[in-house]
Amino acid sequence: MYYSLGDLVWLFLIGLTAWYFWAGMAAKDRVRRIVKSHCADTGVQLLDDTVMLARTRLKRDRSGQVRLQRQYEFEFTSTGERRYGGIAVLHGQRVSQIQLSPFHMS
């Protein structure tokens, strides 16, 4: 069986799309676990046990290699009454930043 160049391009694009979604799901789960642990260490609670992808871009790391950077948003509470926002940045396979909005402790 012979494939044309067009068929190979389509197969490559389908494979690349499948990889992107699979890697994205794994990255989201990794960030969720790290954020949940960070919230527990800080004394706040991650709400809805979820993070949401807000931004994806290519950015160079410290060694100069281009890596995928994903920014996630999440909500947490310190008192159970009010929601606060936070962000987590995954650069390649490493969480490079977790930032919580200013919040009131009871």
Question: Domain range spanning residue 36?
Answer: 5-100
Residue 47 counted as domain residue: yes
In a domain, 106, yes or no: no
Instruction: Give pLDDT tens digits for 50-66.
Output: 999 999 999 998 899 99
Model pLDDT for residues 93-104, shown as the tens digit of each residue: 999 999 999 998
User: What pLDDT score does 104 carry?
Assistant: 85
The pTM for the full model equals 0.85
Q: How much is the pLDDT for 55?
A: 96
Is the confidence at residue 3, as pLDDT, over 90? no
In a domain, 49, yes or no: yes
Per-residue pLDDT reduced to its tens digit, 67-84: 999 999 999 999 888 999
50, burial (CB in 10 Å: exposed 0-12, middle 13-18, buried 19+): middle
Mean residue pLDDT across the chain: 94
Residue 36 maps to a domain? yes
φ and ψ of 22, to 5 deg: -65, -45
Task: Confirm whether 67 is domain-assigned.
Answer: yes
Residue 57 belongs to a domain: yes
Is the pLDDT confidence value at 35 over 90?
Answer: yes
What does the pLDDT read at residue 52? 97
What is the rounded CA–CA span in Å between residue 70 and residue 57?
7
Does residue 26 fall inside a structural domain?
yes
Provide the number of structural domains found in the chain: 1
59 within some domain: yes
- Two structure tokens written together for 69: 């950077």
Residues 6+ away with beta carbon under 8 Å from 23: none
- Calculate Rg over the CA atoms of the chain: 18
